[in-house]
């Protein structure tokens, strides 16, 4: 009788298994007997090396030393892959980054470390040297960095999930927009009869390139709060009286200083905090002056030359 006939005989017309037909089931197995099936044993051919893999169509990964040659993927955006370890077992090399990158960075995940509620993400290089870690508990998240060589951990950032954030150590922000320009032209006194915007023409620094020393304007690259300040070394004309100069944002005055200079040089200065939207521009304008008034625009050095400066606070 063929395998198909035996299978049809063992499974009834209603789709149920005819357990009484042990012989039919054994025949389906081809290399077993009715007694093998009835006693729960499997024929040797079914246990031969590679037979289980061939029957399953894939290789199970379920014991120490088993490896996968392909990529483990989830089948949807909401699916997840869970790695579980007993007690304080530490995973090593669980997930690996792009090995085409220098060093082949490794990501190891530790959950429930040492019986606590801590979950950690460790970063290591290709030689398993720890580079840094993110350590999270039910109350806080910590960012740690490891010094080169021997283990020497330094906390960089602490965030309490319900109260505050603390940054440890010195924070370097090399990309913060900042500038300083001097009213230096090398020409000594500069008459400002026809001046509207004070000419801070000589840049001392301009981090981000947002100051234009031809229009004397700083343009905000991003929205935020900015510290802004200016100073003027003022020499009034023979006419006494009060003068004023102000800080303008995109053509509108936001704050000004009113002063009564002596016949000699006087330094007037204003410092403030302004809120700027991206592309807003800031400049220092003359508001009130008299014919013949001058500002000092010398070569600098120790002379009291005015300046215009500012930076992003946040």
Give residue-wise pLDDT tens across range 278-296: 999 999 999 988 888 888 8
* 192 and 290 housed in the same domain: yes
Residue 110 in any domain: the answer is yes
In a domain, 68, yes or no: no
CB count, 10 Å around CB of 255? Answer: 14
Beta bridge partners of 219: 281
- Is the CB of residue 284 less than 8 Å from the CB of residue 246? yes
Give the predicted TM-score (pTM) of the model: 0.59
Task: Tell me the pLDDT band of 101, cut-offs 50, 70 and 90.
Answer: very low
pLDDT tens readout for residues 156-207: 778 887 777 777 777 788 899 999 999 876 667 888 888 899 999 999 999 9
The answer as to whether 238 is a domain residue is: yes
Average pLDDT over residues 68-78: 64
Q: Is the pLDDT of residue 85 over 90?
A: no
Distance of CA 203 to the CA centre of its chain: 31
> Which of 186, 169, 176, 171 is closest to 208 using CA atoms?
176
* Other Cβ atoms closer than 10 A to 67: 6
Cβ(295)–Cβ(190) below 8 Å? yes
Please tell me whether residues 256 and 194 are part of one structural domain: yes
In the three-class reduction of DSSP (H, G, I as helix; E, B as strand; rest coil), residue 202 is classed as: strand
Beta bridge partners of 93: none
Question: Do 162 and 103 share a structural domain?
Answer: yes
Q: Is residue 299 part of a domain?
A: yes
Q: d(Cα 263, Cα 238) in Å, to the nearest integer? A: 7
Same structural domain, 130 and 221: no
Say if 125 falls within a structural domain.
Answer: yes
Given 167, 192, 225, the domain boundary residue is: 167
Q: Are residues 225 and 130 part of one domain?
A: no
**pLDDT confidence band for 139 (50 / 70 / 90):** confident
Backbone angles phi, psi at 297, to 5 degrees: -130, 50
Are 131 and 223 in the same domain? no
Q: What is the mean pLDDT of residues 193-222?
A: 94
Query: How many domains, in total, are found in the chain?
Result: 3
Q: Does 194 share its domain with 163?
A: no
Residue 289 and residue 278 in contact, taking contact as beta carbons nearer than 8 Å: no
Structural domain for 43, as ranges = 3-56
Q: For 4-118, where are the E strands, in sequence order?
A: 95-96, 106-111
């Amino acid at each position: 009788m063929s395998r198909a006939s035996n299978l049809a005989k063992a499974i009834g017309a209603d789709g149920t298994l005819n357990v009484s037909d042990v012989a039919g089931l054994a025949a389906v197995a081809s290399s077993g007997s009715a007694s093998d099936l009835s006693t729960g044993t499997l024929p040797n051919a079914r246990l031969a090396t590679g037979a289980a893999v061939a029957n399953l169509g894939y290789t199970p990964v379920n014991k120490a030393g088993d490896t996968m040659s392909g990529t483990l993927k989830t089948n949807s955006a909401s699916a997840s892959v869970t790695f579980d370890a007993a007690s304080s077992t530490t995973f090593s090399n669980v997930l690996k980054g792009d090995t085409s990158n220098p060093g082949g960075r490794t990501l190891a995940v530790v959950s429930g470390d040492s019986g606590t509620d801590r979950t950690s993400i460790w970063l290591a290089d290709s030689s398993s040297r720890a580079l840094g870690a993110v350590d999270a508990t039910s109350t806080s998240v910590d960012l740690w960095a490891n010094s080169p060589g021997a283990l020497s951990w330094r906390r960089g950032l602490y965030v309490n999930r319900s109260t505050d954030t603390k940054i440890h150590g010195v924070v370097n922000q090399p990309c913060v927009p900042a500038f300083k320009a001097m009213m230096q032209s090398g020409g000594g006194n500069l008459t400002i009869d026809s001046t509207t915007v004070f000419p801070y023409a000589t840049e001392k620094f301009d981090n981000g390139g947002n100051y234009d020393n031809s229009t004397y304007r700083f343009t905000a690259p991003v929205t935020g709060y900015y510290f802004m300040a200016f100073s003027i070394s003022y020499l009034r004309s023979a006419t006494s009286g009060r003068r004023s100069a102000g800080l303008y944002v995109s053509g509108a005055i936001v704050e000004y200083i009113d002063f009564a200079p002596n016949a000699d040089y006087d330094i007037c200065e204003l410092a403030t905090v302004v809120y700027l939207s991206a592309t807003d521009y800031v400049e220092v304008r003359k508001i009130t002056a008299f014919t013949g008034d001058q500002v000092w625009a010398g070569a600098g050095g120790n002379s009291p030359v005015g300046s215009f400066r500012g930076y992003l606070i946040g």
